[in-house]
Each structure stands twice: as C-alpha cells, then as structure tokens.
Chains A and B, each alone.
Chain A
Amino acid sequence: MNAVILQDLVKRFGKKKALDGISLELQENRIVGLIGRNGAGKTTLLRTLAGFLRPTVGSVLVFGQNPFDNIRVLSDIVLMDDERYTDNSDLRVLIDRAALSWSQFDKAMALKLLDYFNIPVKTKIKKLSKGMKTLFSLVIALLSRCPLTLLDEPTLGLDAAHRKEISSLLLKDYVNYPRTIIVSSHLISELEGLMEQVVLIDNGRLVFHKTIEDVQSYALYLTGRRSILEEQEGRRRVIYKESMGEMLVLGVVNDLSAEELRRLESSGIEISAMGVQDVCVNMTRQDEGGVLDVVSK
C-alpha cells in the first residue's frame, strides 16, 4: 500500500511557488530521504503532508485520505521540525501531552532517553540549546511511533557524536516498529545509510525519486587530461565540470558500459563514484560558475 500519494501538488505563497507540480508515490514502511537545498520546498512539502497547509492545486493523500483538518489521519502523522514543541511549559508537560495524544507513545522510553541525553524534564524548552531542542523533539516524534513520521532536518545543531547516536536510535526503533519515515535534510552523509529511497527536489519540483543504490551509481567523476575528456563531454550528460590547467574533472551521468569504463581507465582517466551527497548537490546546482565567481569579480 502507498503511504503517500501526491498528484501535481502546487503550493503557492502569494506569488511565490514553494511547490511546483510534484507527483510522487511513497510505499509504506520505508525510510525515505527528502533531499534538497535550502528553500527547495522540503519544509513546505512536509507541512502539507502533516495537514498544516492546504494545497493550492493538486492533491495529497496520506494513507488514502486528505490530511488537511482530518483528525483521523492526523493522529497517525507526526512532524518534527525546529518550530515544534515551543510551548512555554516544562518538558514534562509536553511529554504528558504526547502520552495523551498517542496511545502508542512510549513514555518510559522517552524519559530514559532524555535522561541519557542529559535533558532535564523540569526545564522549559526555551532554556535548551539548539541541539538539545532537536534531541527533545526527535525523541517525542520517534516514540510517538506514528505510521507516518516526518522528520525535518533531524540533525540540526547536533554534534557528530549525537548525530551518529540519532541515526542508530532511528534505525533501531524503525526495525522494532516498522513505519514510513520521511527524513528531510540538505546534509545527508550521516543519514545516507538509513535511507532506502531518495526523493530529490529543487525549486519546488521533483528532480528524481530513486532507490539509494540507483542514486549511488547514478553518476561518476572522470578525472584526467582535458584532451581525452573533452571528447567525452559532448557525448555524456555532464552535471559537474571543474578544470585546473590541463586537468579536467567531469561529473557525468553514468550510462557507460563496463567496456567503455575499462577503455577510459586504460587511457589514464581516473574513475570514481560520485556518491549520494555529490549527486544531490550537482543535480541541484544553481547555474554555471558558483560562489567563487561572485567573490572573484
């Protein structure tokens, strides 16, 4: 069954189109990475899924129902982002509210985890540091065990050690309680292993929806002499190009056969995988040049 079905989803804020015709189907019980640059529309997409926003055009179905103002399906959805759980009250009150809201909320585990992360429950959320806030809302969202769990930038403000722990925690809880989890991020390296599928969006549009393996093998870096590589440039879909003197680095979409790869390698070209992170960055590049061109002018 599909957990999420989007059809030509458009969301406009005034004149600005935050989402510009996204169609997407996500199966149940998967971890999906929602990747995109800042302002690509990740947060808007998640908030539409969570029933906060009404689509301007198109339709959103979560477990077969429209989530906007629909308490039946809303009680199966949790959204974690940096604007959640900002109440003035103690963390304790928020935990109690979570326990009232979701029958399956694991309060005992929540308290244990907060204790482990050294977050005292008798403080107000405002007093917590950025990272602590993220940890707190992640604990709430995760232990609500909602069939659709939406995590918007769940590593915001976390240090490397916490990021690692969060990804193990997420995975462990997912294995024990399978559900659909959508994780949005612009920095994906530490969450890459968790994802089964990647949805890449840019400027409110869907760039691709692929399995993580397909993204990993989607593109290659070819490094070597300009004379050899320039001949390749015309024939391939180039998504990255950087040169230094006679040396050229080309990022190309991988449609090369094993034979072609071997021949390139024999002619002194180094071939390496682009990696999920770089594929996503290169596929959503603004235009030629980049920030260094701006600075040097």
Chain B
Amino acid sequence: MKLNPTDMKPIYVQIAEGIEDDILNGVLEEGSECYSQYQISRMFNINPATAAKGINILVQEGILYKVRGLGMHVSKGAKTMIRRKRHPDIAESARKLVLDAEKLGIGRDELIKIIRDVTIPEKEDK
C-alpha cells in the first residue's frame, strides 16, 4: 500500500484501493484482521479521520466488516467482490495504453503482440 498525494484520486480513495490491493495480493487474507484507522494514520502520517473514510468505503461495500471489540476484518469473498468491482478498470487502463501507443505510432496489432510477449516472473509461493 502506498499513497500519492498528487494523484487525481483523493487520499481516502487511495487508502481504500491500497487495502483492496493488499487483499488481492494476499497480504491481507480473507477473514483476517485489517489495518486500523490509527495504524494507517501512523504509517502514512495522515489524519485518522481520512483513514477512517477510506475504511468506511470498504465497509459499505461489504469488503470489510466490523467485529465488535476486535476492529475491522476482511470479509469472506472479498477477493471476488474486488475483482468484480475493478473489472472495468482494466478497460480504462487499456484505453490509456492505446493512447500512449498511438503517440509512439504503435498500432493495435503490434500492441497486442507486445502484451502477449510480456513476461512476468513466477510468483513465489508463500
């Protein structure tokens, strides 16, 4: 999770997305405890109210839930929820990629070939 103050997105949205990323990566497991607003606040030196806003977005979406006295936990099925929610984002990223490619005079076919050739090192298993 990291924050970028000059990003178009407000800090609390970035926090929500950062937590989502950590859930997708498996840093935060389903059913386990999530960061508290104070942990996030201390980690990034931001107002705890801002951190709480980010967490609350995820609570409303059902990705996190509150356990009385124990703080926020990651819901079962959170990964699927996030994947479904973020699916349109890929289209947006692709659009940006196409725009960038056009700037460089790279056609769609060539771009697709580049995408196919991208290699990602094998994920290490925990």
Contacts and interface: CB of A to CB of B under 8 A. Distances in A.
A193 B45 contact: yes
A273 interface: yes
A271 B45 contact: no
A273 B96 CA distance: 17
Contacts of B99: 265-266, 268
Nearest to B44: A193
B121 interface: no
Interface residues of B, number: 22
Contacts, number: 61
Interface string B16-49: 0000000000000000000000100110111111
Given A193-B5, A265-B99, A168 B42 contact: yes
Interface residues of A, number: 28
A171 B96 CA distance: 38
A16 to B, nearest CB: 35
Interface stretch (B6-14, B58-66, B67-75, B106-114): B6-14
A199 B50 CA distance: 17
A104 to B, nearest CB: 21
Nearest to A278: B6
A189 B45 CA distance: 12
Nearest to B7: A273
A252 interface: no
B26 to A, nearest CB: 27
Given A265-B99, A275-B6, A171 B47 contact: yes
Looking at B5, B44, B103, the one whose CB has the most chain A CB atoms below 10 A away is B5
Contact of B10 (A167, A217, A268, A271): A217
A196 interface: yes
Looking at A172, A212, A265, the one whose CB has the most chain B CB atoms below 10 A away is A212
A192 B96 CA distance: 29
Interface in A205-238: 212-213, 216-217, 220
A171 B5 CA distance: 18
B49 to A, nearest CB: 5
A83 B58 CA distance: 46
Given A175-B41, A194-B47, 20 more contacts: A168-B45, A171-B45, A171-B47, A171-B48, A175-B38, A175-B42, A193-B5, A193-B47, A194-B45, A195-B47, A196-B50, A212-B11, A213-B12, A217-B10, A220-B8, A265-B96, A266-B99, A272-B6, A273-B6, A273-B8
Interface of A: 30-31, 164, 167-168, 171-172, 175, 189, 192-196, 212-213, 216-217, 220, 262, 265-266, 268, 271-273, 275-276
6 closest A-B pairs by CB: A193-B46, A213-B10, A273-B8, A275-B6, A196-B47, A196-B49
